[in-house]
Structures are given as C-alpha cells and as structure tokens.
Amino acid sequence: MSTTNTQQQLINAFSTVLPADAVLYNAEDLHPYECDGLSAFRQIPLMVVLPETVEQVQSIIKTCHQLQVPVIARGAGTGLSGGALPLSTGVLLSLAKFKQILDIDPLARTARVQPGVRNLAISEAVKSHGLYYAPDPSSQIACTIGGNVAENSGGVHCLKYGLTVHNILKLDIVTIDGELHSIGSDALDSPGYDLLALMTGSEGMLGVIVEVTVKLLPIPQQAKVIMASFDDVYKAGNAVASIISAGIIPAGLEMMDKLAIKAAEDFIHANYPLDAEAILLCELDGTEIEVNEMIPLAEKVLRDNGATETRLAKDDIERAKFWQGRKSAFPAVGRMSPDYYCMDGTIPKSELGNVLQQIADLSKEYNLPVANVFHAGDGNMHPLILYDANIEGELERTEEFGAKILEACVQAGGTITGEHGVGVEKIDSMCVQFKSAELSQFHAIKKAFDPDTLLNPGKAVPTLHRCAELGAMHVHDGKLPHPELPRF
C-alpha cells in the first residue's frame, strides 16, 4: 500500500472521530512538528492528529493498529534526545490539547492532570495550598507532565526530592490495541508488577499516557543558596563529596566550569566570579531552624575544601539571580557559538575529576570547546560542545566527540543518559552500555506491550544488528562486541 493510500485511509477513519482542524496533513501544517528540542534531526510526519478526549486517542490508536501504522506521541516537544522525532510513515499524536488540571486534593497532596499540562503550571496551581510538584527540569516553563513521565525527567533538586518516578502515583495509559489501563493507584502501592516504574522513562514505546496523578510536597519554609568559588575543578569536585559525607543533603548542588560561568555572566549578569575555574551553587532548604543550622556547616566544608570565596545570597532576589544564571546556561552558551550539542552522562561523583580531564583532552583532540554544567550532587553532567553546523563535517565530528564522552561515562561506572533519554540521539551509545542479552530483554519487554512495534519504533533501544555493525567499526582490545551475531 502506498503512503498516499495509507494517508487517505487514515484521514477517512480519523474524520469520523475528530474535527477537521484536528487532522493535519498539508506540508505547511506539518513543518512545526518536524523535530523536538534536538533540532539536528528533522523529519516531516505522514500526518499529525490533535485529539482532545481519551476516547479519541483510543480510536486513533486502534485505527493505526489496524492499518499497522506507527504512532509517535508528542507533548511540548522540548525533549533533547529526539524522542518525539516523527517518521515519514507514521502518525504524530500530539497531546497538546490535554491541558486540564482535573483535580487537586490538598489534604491527600495529589493532583490529577492531563498529560499536556506544563510542569510549572502544576506548581503554580497548587501554590495557594502551600504545595508544589518537585521535579523541575530546566525546561519546566514549557515541558509537559506527559513528556516528563515518558522521559523520567529530573532537574536540579533530584538528590533530595527524586525524579519523576518518585513523584507520581498513577497513570492512565492507552496501549497499542486501543485499550485504556490504569496503573499505580492513589494508595502507596498496587498489587502485581511495578508497571508505574516500567512506564516511567519508557519514551512512548509501551503506551500513550493520557492522565497522570502526581504527588505534591509542602513548600519548604526557607531556602538559601551559597555560591562557592574554586581555583581548580578538582577541589570543587572534592567539596561535593565532602558536603554529602558531612551528612548534608542539599536541595540542589550544581557546578559550572570557567567557560559556562563566563557565558552565563555575559548573558544574565548574576555577579558570578569570572576569575574562578569552577563555582558550586549549594542550596539548602527546610524549616528555618534546619537551614540556619546547615548553612554554617556547609560554608565550613566548602572553605575546608579550598573554596576561595563563599557568598550567601542575601535575599530571595539574589538567590533567584544565582539560579537564573545556572538555569540559563544552555541558551547562554548558545550565544557564544553558532551551535552547541548537550550531553547528559551520569557518573559516580568520585569520577568527576577523571572524566572532566578526559573531556578536556578530547576537547583539544577535536579542537572543539566544551562548557561544563552539571548536577554535581547526583553526578549528572551536561558538557556542552560548541560547534558550527555550517562548517562541513563539524556536526559529525561533534557527534563522535559526544559519543566518546558517553563511553568515558560508562567506563567510569556511569550511564549514557541521566535525564534526557536515549531517543534517536544516543541509540548507538546504548550498544556501549548494554550487552546483547540485555538489549534482547528490552525488546522482549517491548513485545509484551506492543507486539507489532508500532509505538515510537526505532527509538531508545537499538536492534542487535545496529550494534553489531557499529561494533565492527569500534573494535576494543581486539574483541568484537556482540560476537554471537552473524555479520555481513
């Protein structure tokens, strides 16, 4: 069946359940959906549908299942790994119209929301009850809760308050047969397997999320932030370990290196010290008593580890300014270079110095500058490689450089992605992190939910053949990875 025929069949089927303006198939209407936050990868979808009821989603998915057409779900499209990259043969299912906060229960400290509700909108809606939704990815002003669940998004407060998986209670999902399932519960546990954990971070490959019940936390009475300057990134890394060893769990503990400091300072004027090799932002929150107890202790630990200066934000305005510099680090770096490529590896904190050195060496080797910004408290690094896509071959060199950083993270006992997801971007690096049997197990999980591989196919988990072909290009120690596979 030709693409045109399939498209016509889909249009006919969808027109019975959706209004005409919720089915897009003209080229000019499809362009805005060609990529997500990873704009280096682009593809025009076969068509876009914009349902607004769960029944419509079920009907769309049933039709796609019958016609064996791939379905790619999309929230706000802020993802950084190409998880919502369309397929030319697939339907892009936008959940943008699912914007309702359905219920807020202040006593139970929960909110039931549709997947297209923005992350920050939840905290804003419950603020009057003294509550908030804890995970705060830097894109929280735009990203949606459905996408957060699909990616298991993090943010700067994960060490103390957890990731998305720790802050949701219940999901309604539609599986590829069009069936609606409720997983998790309003209680603290559910009988059977932990499908809630399995769905979280599954990148739209197991089901489409149509409702989310989130946990809400009480807003801390007080939050204070210390900015510490260091003349050496190693010292800053050691200070991170010492703070944790002292029994302090900061609400946020972020590090920026010299290039990132300069970029943020030029952009935001947060009064960052331009002569420092690294700064740490250490936020402590809680009751007034505990914050006041912890601040002097944290300042002492930072100074004992060689901080050249520690500065306590004098009020909430200065505190917001310190954070604004950090949260704007990506666009700030974007002003220094035509393009940048953001990595997302996570490593044990003790490996920080080692991996930073490897990144510095690779930066020299590839002759591409790197600005380092990271969630130091949980070892999640975001090296930003500066490049110019207009220079021929530079994007390819950047991707190769990025893949080497991720290999270094895996070798250091870490992972290729802490919070951005695999998507299409890091799919080859999955071959470095996992063995064939593990990848096969992932494919078996996928088949249990989606036997025909129609939900977001080709993302997150590489085929064994892809890894074998890649392995043939990267032979380590004379050993071929995945030696059990036939080669051609």
Partner 1 sequence: MTDQTQALQEQITAAYANKTACRIEGGNSKHFIGNPSAGEQVSTKNHTGIISYDASELVLTARSGTTLKEISAALAVNNQSLPFEPPAFSEHATIGGTIACNLSGPARAYSGAARDFVLGTRIINGKGEVLQFGGQVMKNVAGYDASRLMAGAYGTLGLLLEVSLKILPKAQTEITIKSQQSADAAINIINQLAGKYLPISASCYFDEHLYIRLNSSQQNCEAASQMICQQITAQPIESSAELWQQILEQQHVFFDTDQPVARISLPATSQHIAITGEQLIEWGGALRWLKTDQPIEQLRQTVQALGGHVSAYKNYPADTEYFQPLASGISILHKGLKNAFDPAGILNPGRLYKEL
Question: Per CB under 8 A, which of residues 54..73 are in contact with partner 1?
Answer: none
Q: x-or-dash pattern for partner 1, window 194-213, by CB under 8 A?
A: xx-xx-xxx---x-------
Are 22 and 49 in contact by the 8 Å Cβ rule? The answer is: yes
Binding positions for partner 1, 453-472, rule CB under 8 A: 460-461
3-state SS, 53-80, equals CHHHHHHHHHHHHHHCCCEEEECCCCCC
User: Looking at the DSSP assignment, which residues form a beta bridge with residue 266?
Assistant: none
CA nearest 409: which of 462, 347, 464, 338?
347
| Continuous H helices in 152-281 | 158-161, 195-199, 233-245, 258-268
Size of the site for partner 1 (CB under 8 A): 91
Quote the CA–CA distance of 8 and 26 in Å, as a whole number. 12
**CB of residue 316 vs partner 1: minimum separation in angstroms?**
16
Among 165, 171, 284, 385, binds partner 1 (CB under 8 A): 165
CA 236, 378, 408, 37 dihedral sign is negative
**CB of residue 69 vs partner 1: minimum separation in angstroms?**
22
Q: Which amino acid is at 223?
A: A
**CB of residue 39 vs partner 1: minimum separation in angstroms?**
21
Using DSSP, state whether 175 is helix, strand or coil: coil
Binding positions for partner 1, 432-451, rule CB under 8 A: 433-435, 437-438, 441-442, 444-449
Are 132 and 215 in contact by the 8 Å Cβ rule? The answer is: no
**CB of residue 279 vs partner 1: minimum separation in angstroms?**
20
| 391, two tokens | 């220079």
Binding positions for partner 1, 370-399, rule CB under 8 A: 375, 378-380
CA–centroid distance for 41 within its chain: 17
- C-beta closer to partner 1: residue 194 or 388: 194
Binding positions for partner 1, 336-355, rule CB under 8 A: 346-350
Binding positions for partner 1, 129-158, rule CB under 8 A: 129-131, 151-152, 154, 158
- C-beta closer to partner 1: residue 156 or 227: 156
- C-beta closer to partner 1: residue 145 or 206: 206
Among 69, 104, 416, 470, binds partner 1 (CB under 8 A): 416
| 225, two tokens | 């932030």
**CB of residue 472 vs partner 1: minimum separation in angstroms?**
22
**Residue 128 touching partner 1 (CB under 8 A):** no
**CB of residue 126 vs partner 1: minimum separation in angstroms?**
10
Phi, psi of 354 (to 5 degrees): -60, -50
Strands 23-24, 47-49: pairing is antiparallel
Binding positions for partner 1, 63-122, rule CB under 8 A: 105-109
Binding positions for partner 1, 220-239, rule CB under 8 A: 220-221
Quote the CA–CA distance of 258 and 279 in Å, as a whole number. 8
Q: x-or-dash pattern for partner 1, window 174-193, by CB under 8 A?
A: -x---x-xxx-xxxxxxxxx
Using DSSP, state whether 259 is helix, strand or coil: helix
User: Looking at the DSSP assignment, which residues form a beta bridge with residue 226?
Assistant: 282, 312
Quote the CA–CA distance of 227 and 442 in Å, as a whole number. 42
**Residue 255 touching partner 1 (CB under 8 A):** no
**CB of residue 122 vs partner 1: minimum separation in angstroms?**
16
